[in-house]
């Protein structure tokens, strides 16, 4: 009876192993989120101070151009053609 309680009880080895695995998964998730956060902070800093980063964003998102430049935009592919190719 004591062995069963040690392994399968509320604070037994089985529960301990589950919590340990959950803790490892959460630590990995935290590390990934910290890396993403650092990358976003770097991007924000660049957008506040770096003229090249500002220009890149303006060109990509707002489609700004310099005098004399022409932007060509292609229509998105038709859904019917994508299904036929599969």
What is residue 24's three-state secondary structure? Answer: helix
d(CA 43, CA 61): 15
Cα-based angle 67, 72, 75 (whole degrees, multiple of 5): 150
pLDDT at position 85 is: 57
SS (H, E, C) 28-44: HHHHHHHHHHHHHHHHH
Q: Where is pLDDT greater, at 39 or 84?
A: 39
Give 59's pLDDT tier (boundaries 50, 70, 90): confident
Span 55-65, mean pLDDT?
A: 87
| Residue scoring higher pLDDT (6 or 27) | 27
Q: What is the pLDDT of residues 19-50, one digit of tens each?
A: 899 999 999 999 999 999 999 999 999 999 99
Percent of the chain whose pLDDT exceeds 90:
41
Residue 82: pLDDT above 60?
Answer: no
């Amino acid at each position: 009876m004591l062995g069963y309680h040690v392994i399968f009880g509320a604070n037994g080895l089985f529960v301990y192993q589950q919590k340990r695995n959950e803790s490892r998964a959460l630590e990995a998730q935290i590390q990934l989120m910290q890396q993403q956060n650092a990358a976003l902070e770097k991007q924000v800093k660049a957008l506040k101070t770096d003229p090249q980063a500002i220009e890149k964003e303006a060109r990509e998102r707002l489609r700004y151009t310099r005098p004399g430049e022409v932007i060509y935009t292609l229509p998105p592919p038709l859904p019917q053609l994508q299904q036929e190719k599969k």
